[in-house]
Amino acid sequence: MKLYDAMAPNPRRVRIFMAEKGIELPIEHLELMEGQSRKPEFMAKNSLGETPVLELDDGRYLTESIAICRYLEHLYPEPTLFGKTAEEQAFVEMWTRRMEQLIMGPFGAFGIHSFEFFADKIEQVPAYAETQMRLIPKRWAWLDTEISDGRPFIAGDAFSVADITGAATLMIASFISYEIPADLKHVSAWANRI
Amino acid sequence: MKLYDAMAPNPRRVRIFMAEKGIELPIEHLELMEGQSRKPEFMAKNSLGETPVLELDDGRYLTESIAICRYLEHLYPEPTLFGKTAEEQAFVEMWTRRMEQLIMGPFGAFGIHSFEFFADKIEQVPAYAETQMRLIPKRWAWLDTEISDGRPFIAGDAFSVADITGAATLMIASFISYEIPADLKHVSAWANRI
């Protein structure tokens, strides 16, 4: 297998996942700012021109961060990051999706609708980017209430792929110098723990 | 267990999933247009005020359509809808996510940024809704090329939860009288098959 990686939040989710399990794979690093993920050679691997991509041993290309992580979980089960029992797995998936859509989502939407890098890739709507920035503190406040039951990690007692999506979001937040509102004690404690 | 259902694309994904497996559960139907999912009693089950929600036998509430479907897959394995081998499961997840984000996503974004129903729920940006409507035919064209290898279903030879997300998207398309461009032969054949 081989991972096509880049300095961006989604490939970072896979790299954190691999680091937690001690997985070492051949890695090819793409420079997104130099357009390496949009070259025909890479587009043949992922027609979306996006990272990460995992090249499987049979030559097929697997995309989408969480699909890659779940496949790696199958190959390298320890430590469990998608939950052990069916119920744990259900709540890890629920929280991974909530973290993606509600917490990471507005940061991502803000970025692709305001960063120069995306100007030639999508139809940017600056007014939409502004709504996303206004949404972010509300979403952190929602998360703060949700985890106010004292659980140490997003989906419960165990660190999981839901926390990894949170960690990737903190990476974006840091990149744009966004600080979690200090009065959100539970989220701030979780971020420090991560 | 008990399913909280409504007439909307996401709960519809769970209902199709259950129908494919012949699963029968107690169902409580919520009238979204009457605000039933925003009442305190339901918000206590899902703080997002969204359907579907699966009440588990231990009294906990599981949200997010695909988390619910995957949990039901564990309880009712046949017929398999998330893939059998680890590789099949990986590509079903990859395609479920691509269908959600790239195909269902723009329809959903168009809807929540233009329908009166969402006017008091989110900060609507009509210009953003318009970009999403322009994106839709491009995304169907992309999908057409991706499935032009002759495979009958989105993720390969077997009908899967990725096709169910596609079916829910066709439900939205029908609701807004959007027709798949007739020159997209592979997507049209797939839609007829579904």
Tell me what ipTM this predicted complex has: 0.97
pLDDT digits over B5-54, tens only?
Answer: 999 999 999 999 999 999 999 999 999 999 999 999 999 999 999 999 99
- Assigned domain for B81 exists: no
Chain B hits for A94, CB-CB cut-off 8 Å, are 62-64, 67
Alpha carbon of B73: minimum distance to chain A alpha carbons (Å): 10
Q: Do B64 and A128 touch (CB under 8 A)?
A: no
Q: Do B103 and B188 reside in the same domain of the chain?
A: yes
What's the pLDDT band for B146 if we cut at 50, 70, 90?
very high
In whole angstroms, give the CA distance from residue A121 to residue A118: 5
Q: What are phi and psi of A124, to 5 degrees?
A: -75, 140
Among residues A14, A49, A75, the one where a domain terminates is A75
Q: Do A46 and A137 reside in the same domain of the chain?
A: no
Q: Do A68 and A130 reside in the same domain of the chain?
A: no
Q: Do A45 and A140 reside in the same domain of the chain?
A: no
Nearest to A61 by CA among A36, A76, A43: A43
Q: Do A96 and A63 reside in the same domain of the chain?
A: no
Q: What are phi and psi of A132, to 5 degrees?
A: -70, -40
Count of structural domains, chain A: 2
Among residues B35, B54, B75, the one where a domain terminates is B75
Q: Which of residues 29-48 of B touch A (CB under 8 A)?
A: 47-48
- Assigned domain for A81 exists: no
Please give the pLDDT value at position B186. 98
Among residues A36, A56, A75, the one where a domain terminates is A75
Q: Do A108 and A159 reside in the same domain of the chain?
A: yes
In whole angstroms, give the CA distance from residue B126 to residue B63: 29
Please give the pLDDT value at position A142. 98
Which 3 state secondary structure label does DSSP give A63? strand
Instruction: Judge whether B131 is closer than 8 Å to chain A, CB to CB.
Output: yes
DSSP string of A105-152? HHHHHHHHTT-GGGTTTS---HHHHHHHHHHHHHHHHHHHHHTTT--S
Q: Which domain covers residue B100, as residue numbers? A: 86-193
Chain B hits for A60, CB-CB cut-off 8 Å, are 87, 91
- Closest in B75, B93, B125 to A67, CB measured: B93
Q: Do B90 and A97 touch (CB under 8 A)?
A: no
Which 3 state secondary structure label does DSSP give B53? strand
In whole angstroms, give the CA distance from residue B133 to residue B135: 5
Beta-carbon contacts below 8 Å between A and B: 93
Q: What is the CATH number of the domain that holds A153?
A: 1.20.1050.10
Q: What angle do CA B55, B61, B64 make, to 5 degrees?
A: 105
Rg of chain A in Å (alpha carbons): 17
- Assigned domain for A94 exists: yes
